[in-house]
Chains A and B, each alone.
Chain A
């Protein structure tokens, strides 16, 4: 098997994550789709790390994981505070800045 097949798999996962962000209305599921996209990017980094024979890609993926963890914490806190005031977790309901 060609080790670069992982790249195609990562591209597919990234695309599915993008479609999820576009399709879903629940803010939490949109967030999960973003996690999926980050994971696909990580898989690409690890695969290139293997292809190039150095560990830099793995270190990058590690940093991406840390940033993703921080982003999830902040994002979920924002979703919770929106839910507290508006009683909804739908991204369509947060449109006060629209007009």
Chain B
């Protein structure tokens, strides 16, 4: 029986292994840098992706700290579900909604930086001096029958009422979200006759719009579509000759793209009145294409 086993059995010491130290010293700078970059980059989508990187690092820390259940919950719930929710809302709100650089309160950013440095000093230095020589007991005995089983035993015995309260909280949150997201319908439901009447009296677009992914406003076969790179696709067959081809993208190499996007459409598509902000961008792109 060696020294470490004796000490661990006595419940006094679990010094971390070399592998854990190496992983920590690699991932801790990554986590801090990802967090710093998250609050410093302009684009909100980049912030979200950097936060995902940070969450993955923290998940690995959980795994290192004998909390495998929490590590995987962190990846599944946080990096998966919650960040997808964030990205959904970002896309709904608009990805170009970057921060304004105007300070409402003068000197707020500088004050925030000074506050942050001071706060970090206040937290880090006392902790650094207090943890000197602390080694902890480790979770070998608590995790003996499996981490998930042990946590489940605690959840359903000692923390049972907290568990119930939290489940009630989740129900309240779900209902609250539905209430907040609900919009009353103004006026009655519009039937098909009224849709058609409105479509023709407004006189903007009589035919259905092309399906999603088609960058043409019109679904006629000789209407040009846009290639993913932004260039013009050539049309199909004999009609291709009528299309002015851009020097960069025109040519036989693009034929498969052109025939894919040219004649499509005619699928169910939204009426003009229902189209949201995406259609504005589509219209902007499509305007140049309509002849």
Q: With A11-B127, A22-B115, A39-B55 in contact, do A67 and B166 touch (Cβ < 8 Å)?
A: yes
Task: Report the Cα distance A24→B58, complex, angstroms.
Answer: 23
Task: Report the Cα distance A76→B39, complex, angstroms.
Answer: 18
Contact residues in A for B166 (Cβ distance below 8 Å): 63, 66-67
**A interface SS class:** helix
Residues of chain A from 7 to 52 with CB closer than 8 A to chain B in the complex = 7-9, 11-20, 22-26, 28-29, 31-33, 35-36, 39, 42-43, 46-47, 49-52
Question: Are B44 and A47 in contact (CB-based, < 8 A)?
Answer: no
- Since A3-B136, A23-B39 are in contact, a sample of 14 more A-B pairs with Cβ atoms closer than 8 Å, ordered by chain A residue number, is A7-B127, A9-B31, A12-B120, A19-B116, A22-B112, A22-B116, A23-B112, A26-B99, A32-B38, A43-B62, A50-B139, A69-B81, A72-B85, A79-B93
From A83, which residue of chain B is reached at the shortest CB distance?
Answer: B93
Interface residues of A (CB under 8 A from B): 1-9, 11-20, 22-26, 28-29, 31-33, 35-36, 39, 42-43, 46-47, 49-56, 58-59, 61-63, 65-74, 76-81, 83-84, 88-90, 92
Question: Are A49 and B139 in contact (CB-based, < 8 A)?
Answer: yes
Contact residues in A for B70 (Cβ distance below 8 Å): 42, 46, 58, 61-62, 65
Task: Report the Cα distance A2→B136, complex, angstroms.
Answer: 9
**B interface SS class:** helix
B275 CB-CB contact with A under 8 Å:
no
B285 CB-CB contact with A under 8 Å:
no
Residue-wise, chain B 97-115 has the 8 Å CB interface mask toward A (1 for contact) of 1111010100011011101
